[in-house]
Amino acid sequence: MTTTTYGWLVLAFPLLGTLVTAFGFRVLPGRTAGWIGTGAIFLAFLAALGALISLQGHASGDRQLVSSLWNYASTTGIDAQMSILVDPLSVFMILVVSGVSTLIHLYSISYMDKDRGFVRYFSYLNFFVFSMLLLVLAGNFLLLIVGWAFVGAASYLLISFWYRRTTATKAGIKAFVINVLGDAGLVLGTYFIFKHTGTLDFLKSFHAVESTTHPAFGHGTNNGDLVAGCLLLLVGAFAKSAQIPLHTWLPDAMEGPTPVSSLIHAATMVTAGVYLIARMHPLFERAPAAQDVGAIVGAATLLIAGTIGLAQTDIKRVIAYSTMSQIGYMIMGVSVGAYAAGLFHLMTHAFFKALLFMAAGSIIGAMGGEQSLNKMGGFRKAMPFTYACFIIGGLALSGIPPFSGFFSKDEILLVTGERGGWHWILYVAGYIGAFFTAVYTFRMIFRAFHGEPVAEARELEAGHLHHADVPRNPANGEDEDTDVGFPGPEHAIAERALPMRIAMGLLALGAVGAGLIQIPKVDFVVDDFLRPSFATAKGYEPHTKTGLLVIGLTLGTLIGLAGIGLAYRIWIVGGKELKASTAIRERTRPLYELFLNKWYFDELIDALVVKPMAVAGAFARDTFERMFVDDTLVGGTTGIVRAGSAAVRAAQSGFVRYYAALLVLGVTGVGFYFLLQT
């Protein structure tokens, strides 16, 4: 089996899973759809492993393999093929995606067990995984765009999974619209690049750009078209990865089921932007202006999301902003050239963020569907396993050694610092963000698990899982319509469901141990593995100055511990009825309002974009459509026809004599004509 065959298998299995569950909707008994879905993704993971092993069997210079199934179209100048590119970068991504997806599918089997939309859920989820795999395996811009769009569609389907909730449907639409904006950027960026390289294929395109004899965009850097193309690609990346200012969809996307949040909005889809920039690195390296934009936006998002996370009360939204912040790190990383570091952080982040979301799903289950931190407390005794997972995930997220987050995050910041110049600002911002991260993560953990146990916790300690009498929408408190089958009266918690425990346990192992494969100056597994993909990247080799390295690592640890300590001080020591945090809140009221309202981005976008569009639409409907099209064009045409036929109708007088006269006149005329002829 060739490497690329493994690549096609990786795509085929989830697609099969989607089709089987979708078409077997009525016939599949019980919960088999869940096992089919999980099995499909697991097979994809195995195929990805196969691809990995077989890829490493090739010589290191020969590790970028393209395989094409057929030509879509061969019109002049456009080579549209159905081709995949199997190289270390894509194999890395498919391993992460399929691996984490398998575990999340497993988790979902228990979590969505009582849901009436069970089969639909697994069908959508498999479709999502297929699209994501297509995105990362794509060998040309065409399939990339196709995968990109599919992922957006799958995200929409899954966010508005419980479609009888207006909040969910609105969130789905919001996510989709912003993603489409990104799609437009992606397509336009592709056009700009295609204009000069003349090919849609990745490898050919990169060769054209990097060629020393006839480089596609000229010999210098920052060619206008290239910068424009890269900036548009960045628009796509920002929309998909929820960076400022296209980030507003991510917190709302928490309306979807928790495993969906875990898969799509933590581990896989939002990392598509990072993958994009990493894949397009030859282009970005020739357009440093775009790289700088990416780095700045990443850093800004990192900080802003961190501050917002400090003030949120919905547990899932806290984790969502944390995701946004960590993706900011990754974007910053790949924008400054730390490709291996950024992708490594992608991997570790997938582990611990998915773990955190799963654990959050568990505690939400214990709360009977309630998601607000204000109502949680003291679950430590009732849910030890979940608590342990939260702690592990939180430590990894905060960057405490020896957990994986420490190594990956600090490596990014290291490379950023080494770039020098104005990148020091980003370096500092990164550590400030790390501080925030630690604070809000442990705020969440301490508030949920420490302190006085709430009623639900006491119930659980007594052995009975709480469930709400009337299911309510956690976002706005309105009663739920359970027709579409919300996780029913019995929610699932990790302590009771084996599949959930297995999934979370494996992820916890990953969160703990994954860092060991890339300890600075010790081993370089990820670096070495990815090198063939980044053969032409400048600054790929980590030439880490030891001094900076030591400073960075100690600083990172200290900041993480300081954050945890602060959180401890506020929420455990001063945690009695939140005295300390309320006091702080009162003192920093304006800041608190700003953070709570998400820096007013939603309102800003609403005023700048949504309202003008609505006005334009109303104008188009009332004035243009009604007056111009309806009355003038349509009415005018019918009026003309009516008038014409009225004129003709006047000839139908009904008088036979008139008709006879016309006849004779006609004959006369014809005879006259023939007379003239002779």
SS3 552: helix
Q: Quick one: which of 252, 380, 385 has its CA closest to 316?
A: 252
657 binds another protein (CB under 8 A): yes
**Exposed/middle/buried for residue 538 (C-beta within 10 Å: 0-12, 13-18, 19+):** exposed
558 binds another protein (CB under 8 A): no
Q: Which stretch binds another protein (CB under 8 A): 108-116, 125-133, 212-220, 667-675?
A: 667-675
Q: How far is the CB of 640 from another protein (least distance, A)?
A: 17
What is the C-alpha to C-alpha distance for residues 107 and 500, in angstroms, rounded to an integer? Answer: 4
660 binds another protein (CB under 8 A): yes
Per-position x/- string for 440-459, each x denoting binding to another protein as judged by CB under 8 A, each - no binding: --------------------
What is the C-alpha to C-alpha distance for residues 537 and 466, in angstroms, rounded to an integer? Answer: 55
Q: Which is nearer to another protein, 610 or 641 (CB)?
A: 641
Residues from 570 through 599 that contact another protein (CB under 8 A): none
Tell me, what amino acid is at 166? Answer: T
To 10 degrees, what angle do helices 579-587 and 589-596 make?
Answer: 100
Task: State the number of binding residues for another protein (CB under 8 A).
Answer: 19
Q: How far is the CB of 633 from another protein (least distance, A)?
A: 24
The secondary structure of 54-98, three-state, reads HHHCCCHHHCCEEEEEEEEEEECCEEEEEEEEECHHHHHHHHHHH
Q: Quick one: which of 135, 424, 398 has its CA closest to 295?
A: 424
What is the C-alpha to C-alpha distance for residues 658 and 299, in angstroms, rounded to an integer? Answer: 90
Q: How far is the CB of 629 from another protein (least distance, A)?
A: 25
Per-position x/- string for 600-639, each x denoting binding to another protein as judged by CB under 8 A, each - no binding: ----------------------------------------
The residues with which 68 forms a beta bridge, in sequence order, are 83
Q: Which is nearer to another protein, 623 or 668 (CB)?
A: 668
- Hunting for tokens 């928790």 — which residue is that? 258
70 binds another protein (CB under 8 A): no
Half-sphere exposure of 150 (CA within 13 A, CB side): 21
Q: How far is the CB of 140 from another protein (least distance, A)?
A: 59
What is the C-alpha to C-alpha distance for residues 153 and 168, in angstroms, rounded to an integer? Answer: 15
Q: How far is the CB of 671 from another protein (least distance, A)?
A: 5
Q: Which is nearer to another protein, 551 or 663 (CB)?
A: 663
Q: How far is the CB of 12 from another protein (least distance, A)?
A: 59
Which residues lie closer than 8 Å to 294 by C-beta, 6 or more apart? Answer: 234, 237, 277, 284, 331, 332, 334, 335
Task: Provide the greatest CA pair distance for the chain.
Answer: 121
676 binds another protein (CB under 8 A): no
Q: Which is nearer to another protein, 59 or 675 (CB)?
A: 675
Q: Which stretch binds another protein (CB under 8 A): 276-284, 489-497, 518-526, 662-670?
A: 662-670
What is the C-alpha to C-alpha distance for residues 124 and 34, in angstroms, rounded to an integer? Answer: 11
Q: Which stretch binds another protein (CB under 8 A): 59-67, 461-469, 497-505, 649-657?
A: 649-657
Q: Which is nearer to another protein, 558 or 667 (CB)?
A: 667
651 binds another protein (CB under 8 A): no
Q: How far is the CB of 646 from another protein (least distance, A)?
A: 8
Q: How far is the CB of 654 from another protein (least distance, A)?
A: 3
The residues with which 506 forms a beta bridge, in sequence order, are none
Q: Which stretch binds another protein (CB under 8 A): 44-52, 501-509, 595-603, 646-654?
A: 646-654
Q: Which stretch binds another protein (CB under 8 A): 218-226, 264-272, 465-473, 668-676?
A: 668-676
Q: Which stretch binds another protein (CB under 8 A): 380-388, 557-565, 591-599, 665-673?
A: 665-673
Q: Are 338 and 295 in contact (CB under 8 A)?
A: no
What is the C-alpha to C-alpha distance for residues 312 and 320, in angstroms, rounded to an integer? Answer: 10
Q: Which is nearer to another protein, 536 or 668 (CB)?
A: 668
Q: Express the helix, strand and coil content of the chain in percent, nearest 5 each.
A: 75, 5, 20
Q: How far is CA 673 from the centre of its chain?
A: 80
Q: Which is nearer to another protein, 565 or 666 (CB)?
A: 666
543 binds another protein (CB under 8 A): no
Q: Which is nearer to another protein, 521 or 657 (CB)?
A: 657
648 binds another protein (CB under 8 A): no
- Name the site residues for another protein (rule: CB under 8 A): 649, 652-658, 660-661, 664-665, 667-668, 671-672, 674-675, 678
